[in-house]
């Protein structure tokens, strides 16, 4: 049973409302015109960047799945097919120099910051052309030149790390913002609460982004959480505004991201944003996701972020041929990257002891 108090608390917040599909949407900053997209124009450049980024992620992740089936990707991996609008919305709003901190479900955020598809697929395939020369794999994508400061497999581990990066910016008077992505399940880990409190007390330039895809590993988040909205329902504990956004709509995510980034850059402190979204596949490659209620996946697919966005482009008068050309260009890019990765060698043995803990020695383990 969900505690009734939580519902009353959220009902008291005027800008949270429910749509017909049971997804809670953020409605505060806009006056809800008949067509918010048309009346609150984000501009053509941003719109095309949002579309392109989402398609790059979709195509690259679908390819990663195909490569798995061909046994060309070793180990497991965690796809975020269906969650593309969150990664795109933030990455397009971020500036060069801003930092991203991701989880093991980090392909999307790594690609969204401009990391080449070849480097990401090469890393998944354990090839020498990969981001870390094939030594990190899917769960550890990192690209410092693109501001991707690592993918972390320990739940919640990266929230305090993002605070550290933000504290450095504050201390040195730099203007970069740290953006930290994590799942709904992460909100029940101590590190989440410690990081939020620390960031709020120090007014750190950090944006915490909860991608609420309804499930932890195999557990519905609602079954194990005391509040209805795992991130937004806790915001008040840290003196923060509860922010909920439709994570299937890249424009909505982009607008909210812009505000939070501007607030952080202006020295006004952290934000905590809960994006309502859904992952199409199971937790990892090993999970057929049989625990999901029948029809749930199909309902979410009706609100596919890329379909929503194609419709949006149409609304703004972007010709079908322009969209088709973007799609074709990205498909070619992913095809070329795939071929280059297949042809790339595995890393040479002499790098086995480089770029590992300290000097590559083993004594630290004892
Ligand atoms: C500290 C810790 N506990 C448990 C795990 C095992 N684990 C891996 S993913 C996961 C679920 C995380 O769910 P969520 O935060 O919602 O992220 P999502 O996978 O949905 O993106 C768990 C429990 C872990 N990696 N780290
Ligand atoms: Mg989750």
Q: Is any atom of ligand 1 closer than 6 Å to the C-beta of 192?
A: no
| Residue with CA nearest ligand 1 atom 7 | 217
Q: In terms of DSSP bridges, do strands 148-152 and 16-18 run parallel, antiparallel, or are they unpaired?
A: unpaired
Q: Is any atom of ligand 1 closer than 6 Å to the C-beta of 289?
A: no
Residue 76 lies in a domain: yes
Give the Å distance between the CA of 182 and the centre of ligand 1. Answer: 9
Give the Å distance between the CA of 216 and the centre of ligand 2. Answer: 4
Ligand whose nearest atom lies closest to the CA of 187: 1
**Closest ligand 1 atom to 157 CA:** 1
Residue 53 lies in a domain: yes
Give the Å distance between the CA of 188 and the centre of ligand 1. Answer: 10
Q: Is any atom of ligand 1 closer than 6 Å to the C-beta of 186?
A: yes
Residue 321 lies in a domain: yes
Q: Using CA atoms, how far apart are residues 141 and 125, in angstroms rounded to an integer?
A: 12
Residue 33 lies in a domain: no
Q: Using CA atoms, how far apart are residues 205 and 201, in angstroms rounded to an integer?
A: 12
Residue 34 has pLDDT above 60, yes or no: no
Q: Is any atom of ligand 1 closer than 6 Å to the C-beta of 234?
A: no
**What's residue 74's pLDDT?**
84
**What's residue 14's pLDDT?**
32
Q: For the segment 85-95, what is each residue's pLDDT rounded down to a tens digit?
A: 999 999 999 99
Decide if 48 contacts 55 (C-beta within 8 A): no
Question: What mean pLDDT comes out for the span 96-119?
Answer: 98
At a CB cut-off of 8 Å and minimum separation 6, what does 257 contact? 89, 90, 93, 94, 179, 207, 273
Ligand whose nearest atom lies closest to the CA of 214: 2
Q: What tokens were used for 300?
A: 């979410």
Q: Is any atom of ligand 1 closer than 6 Å to the C-beta of 191?
A: no
Residue 111 has pLDDT above 80, yes or no: yes
Q: Is any atom of ligand 1 closer than 6 Å to the C-beta of 216?
A: yes
Give the Å distance between the CA of 159 and the centre of ligand 1. Answer: 14
In total, how many domains does the chain have?
A: 1
Pocket probe for ligand 1: among 82, 138, 156, 183, the residue whose CB has the most ligand atoms within 8 Å is 183
Q: Using CA atoms, how far apart are residues 28 and 242, in angstroms rounded to an integer?
A: 11
Residue 258 lies in a domain: yes
Domain that holds residue 287: 44-342
Residue 265 lies in a domain: yes
Q: For the segment 179-202, what is each residue's pLDDT rounded down to a tens digit?
A: 999 999 999 999 999 999 999 999
| Top-confidence residue, 75 or 143 | 143
CATH of the domain at 144: 3.40.50.970
Give the Å distance between the CA of 11 and the centre of ligand 1. Answer: 29
**Closest ligand 1 atom to 217 CA:** 11
Percent of the chain with pLDDT strictly greater than 70: 87
Residue 363 lies in a domain: no
Q: Using CA atoms, how far apart are residues 296 and 219, in angstroms rounded to an integer?
A: 15
Local confidence band at 361 (pLDDT 50, 70, 90 cut-offs): low
Q: For the segment 258-290, what is each residue's pLDDT rounded down to a tens digit?
A: 999 999 999 999 999 999 999 999 999 889 999
Residue 111 lies in a domain: yes
Give the DSSP H or E segment for 178. Answer: strand 178-183
User: Which burial class, exposed, middle or buried, applies to 15 when counting CB atoms under 10 A from its CB (0-12, 13-18, 19+)?
Assistant: middle
Q: Using CA atoms, how far apart are residues 198 and 38, in angstroms rounded to an integer?
A: 39
Note residues around ion ligand 2 (Cβ under 5 angstroms). 183-184, 213, 215
Q: Position of tokens 């969150």?
A: 86
φ and ψ of 363, to 5 deg = -65, -30
Q: Position of tokens 């480089």?
A: 354
| Residue with CA nearest ligand 1 atom 4 | 155
């Amino acid at each position: 049973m969900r505690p009734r108090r939580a519902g009353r608390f959220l009902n008291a917040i005027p800008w949270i409302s429910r749509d017909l599909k049971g997804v809670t949407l953020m409605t505060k900053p806009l006056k809800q015109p008949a067509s918010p997209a048309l009346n609150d124009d984000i501009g053509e450049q941003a719109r095309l960047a949002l579309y392109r980024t989402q398609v790059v992620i979709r195509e690259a992740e679908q390819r990663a799945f195909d490569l798995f089936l061909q046994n060309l990707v070793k180990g497991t991996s965690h796809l975020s097919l269906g969650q593309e609008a969150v990664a795109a919305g933030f990455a397009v709003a971020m500036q060069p120099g801003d930092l991203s901190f991701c989880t093991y479900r980090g392909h999307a955020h790594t690609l969204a910051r401009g990391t080449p598809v070849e480097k990401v697929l090469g890393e998944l395939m354990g090839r020498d052309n990969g981001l870390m020369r094939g030594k990190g794999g899917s769960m550890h994508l990192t690209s410092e030149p693109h501001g991707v400061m690592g993918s972390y497999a320990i739940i919640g581990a990266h929230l305090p790390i993002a605070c550290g990066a933000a504290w450095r910016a504050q201390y040195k008077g730099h203007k970069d913002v740290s953006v930290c992505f994590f799942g709904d399940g992460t909100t029940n880990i101590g590190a989440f609460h410690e990081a939020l409190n620390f960031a709020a007390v120090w007014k750190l330039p950090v944006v915490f982004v909860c991608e609420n895809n309804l499930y932890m590993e195999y557990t519905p988040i609602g079954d194990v959480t005391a509040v209805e909205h795992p991130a937004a329902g806790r915001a008040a504990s840290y003196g923060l505004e509860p922010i909920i956004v439709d994570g299937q709509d890249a424009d909505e995510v982009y607008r909210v991201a812009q505000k939070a980034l501007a607030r952080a850059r202006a020295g006004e402190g952290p934000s905590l944003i809960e994006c309502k979204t859904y992952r199409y596949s199971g937790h990892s490659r090993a999970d057929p996701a049989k625990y999901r209620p029948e029809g749930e996946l199909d309902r979410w697919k009706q609100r596919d972020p890329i379909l929503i966005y194609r419709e949006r482009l149409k609304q703004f008068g972007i010709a079908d041929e322009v969209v088709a050309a973007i799609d074709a260009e990205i498909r070619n890019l992913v095809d070329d990257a795939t071929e280059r990765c297949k042809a790339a060698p595995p890393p040479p043995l002499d790098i086995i002891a480089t770029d590992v803990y300290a000097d590559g020695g083993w004594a630290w383990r004892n």
